[in-house]
Amino acid sequence: MTSAMRAPRSLLPLRLDDVVFAIGVRRVIDRVSLTLEAGRRTVIVGPNGAGKSVLLRLCHGLLQPTSGTIAWNALELPGEPRRQAMVFQLPVLLRRSALANIVYALAVARVRTEHREARAREALRKVGLDPLATHPARVLSGGEQQRVALARAWALNPEVLFLDEPTANLDPGATHEIERVIGAMHAAGTKIVLVTHNLGQARRLGDEILFMHQGRLLERASADRFFKQPASPEAAQFLEGELPW
Amino acid sequence: MSDLSQAAAEALRLIVGGDPKLLDIVLLSLRVSLTAVVFACVVGLPLGATVAVSRFPGRRTVVVVLNAFMGLPPVVVGLLVYLLLSRAGPLGAMGLLFTPTAMVIAQAILITPIIAALSRQVVEDAWAEYRDQLRSLGERRFGAVMTMLWDLRFSLVIIVLAGFGRAAAEVGAVMIVGGNIDGVTRVMTTAIALETSKGDLPLALGLGIVLLTIVLALNAAADIVKDTAQRRYG
């Protein structure tokens, strides 16, 4: 690599310091401090209303914290192509073909016009949807739509991929396929940060687990340790399938 | 009753026979109203979508004003454009009063708020679904506006039609700024008003039938386009 092609400073680690996100007087996120490093797949678990999705949106910049700081290692300037991507519970695809959806995302990311289609086709191939490239995206099945959303994220070569319950609405077959793609993206070097309330999925995909409860980060542990021996009583109850009040 | 059936028979004869006078009036009407719709869309669609995806101080006031302007009385718009374009008015030197251009201006002013206000509502409803995804991709406001307009194109067709219907059907504004000059600024609505008062019911009725048919045909076509497109694109 020549010096002119010097790699930009890595986006990670991401540091959250004393982050609070409040709606009115209710703290949806309550003083969370945390550092996310490159590499390991981070899975955020916790009961409904624990603030998992909000935490993800704060990290991705879709929400601004009420107080506290969220800082990437490299500054993301507004207007510059994003180096992080997010896949939502319900994929939002545009009324155009699957391929055109990815080409669109590449255009927003200012990828040169002549490279867009090849990159989009390659991404669709990697999620196994190249035969459906010209199909209108919105009439694909739920699982296929989510794979298009993943292909769109993959085509952007993000350093970090946030996933918010990506398989919550999918059947086991589609879920398996989505998990395969997430694993492949991780193997290709993308940091994975996944929110799920599916403990089986957390076991399958997680290297480390963040356990959230009532807006607070109660526990952070390797997946092995978390599932064998959770440190907090709330996590233990959550794992037993009880409702921790 | 026999008056009506006689007039209807005569009206049909004019239409089927392709009466040149009737044809001229119909063509001028279409030219004026379609041009007004094009200008109103160029301004109204981006304006409505921009308000829909933006948050700024005074936004609610803008929305209320846009909604209120949907009900602008055509005669009032006609009067304002008349004052602007009349010899003594600020744009009087352009000599546009009593020309089709003046009628286009009046109709465009009349329907721009309709197109802006309705598209604001449609885009805002969809924006709740799209916002996070487009921001996640790094889309900026101008790009988001264009993306939303294109993605909602099938719903927006109905709004454009509403605008056209309003433009083609109004009589007050074009009467004031066009003057209903035979062969120059006479359109369907002003001709119907005139011929009715003169007692020439067949021509008035014939024009009425044509006006209704055009509006019906356009809406039917739009419905078919919307339906097939939605089945195809979801």
Determine how β-strand A67-72 pairs with β-strand A14-23. antiparallel
CA distance B149 to B111: 18
What are A98-148's pLDDT values in tens digits?
A: 999 999 999 999 999 999 999 999 999 999 999 999 999 999 999 999 999
> Higher-confidence residue: B214 or A14?
A14
> Higher-confidence residue: B21 or A108?
A108
C-alpha count within 13 angstroms, C-beta hemisphere, residue B55: 2
Asked if pLDDT for residue A2 goes beyond 80, the answer is no
pLDDT the model gives residue B160: 94
Q: Is the dihedral of CA A146, A150, A152, A153 positive or negative?
A: positive
- Kindly determine whether residue B136 and residue A137, on different chains, have CB atoms separated by under 8 Å: no
pLDDT the model gives residue A22: 97
- Kindly determine whether residue A62 and residue B132, on different chains, have CB atoms separated by under 8 Å: yes
CA distance A79 to A76: 9
Number of neighbours of residue B59 by Cβ within 10 angstroms: 12
Residue B42 domain boundaries: 2-233
What are B103-127's pLDDT values in tens digits?
A: 999 999 999 999 999 999 999 999 9
pLDDT the model gives residue A3: 45
Taking CA–CA distances from B132, the nearest residue in chain A reads A62
Determine how β-strand A42-45 pairs with β-strand A191-195. parallel
- Kindly determine whether residue B137 and residue A109, on different chains, have CB atoms separated by under 8 Å: yes
What φ, ψ does residue A30 adopt, rounded to 5°?
A: -120, 95
Contact B10/B199 with Cβ under 8 angstroms? no
Q: Domain with B140 in it: what CATH number?
A: 1.10.3720.10
Go through chain A and tell me how many residues it has.
245
Taking CA–CA distances from A140, the nearest residue in chain B reads B234
pLDDT the model gives residue A4: 46
Q: Is A109 on the interface with B (CB under 8 A)?
A: yes
Asked if pLDDT for residue A241 goes beyond 90, the answer is no
* Bridge partners of residue A27, in order along the sequence: A22
Contact A145/A137 with Cβ under 8 angstroms? yes
Which residues from A are below 8 Å from B226, CB to CB? none
Contact B123/B152 with Cβ under 8 angstroms? yes
Asked if pLDDT for residue A5 goes beyond 60, the answer is no
pTM of the entire structure?
Answer: 0.90
Q: Which residue has the tokens 């009725």?
A: B205
> Higher-confidence residue: B16 or A191?
A191
Q: What is the mean pLDDT of residues B66-88?
A: 95
Q: What is the mean pLDDT of residues A64-90?
A: 92
What are A7-49's pLDDT values in tens digits?
A: 678 999 999 999 999 999 999 999 999 999 999 999 999 999 9
Number of domains present in the structure of chain B: 1
- Decide: residue B68, CB within 10 A, 0-12 exposed, 13-18 middle, 19+ buried: exposed
Taking CA–CA distances from A152, the nearest residue in chain B reads B137
ipTM of the complex: 0.91
> Higher-confidence residue: B85 or B15?
B85
Mutation pick from B130, B131, B132, B133 vs chain A, by most beta carbons of A within 10 Å, is: B133
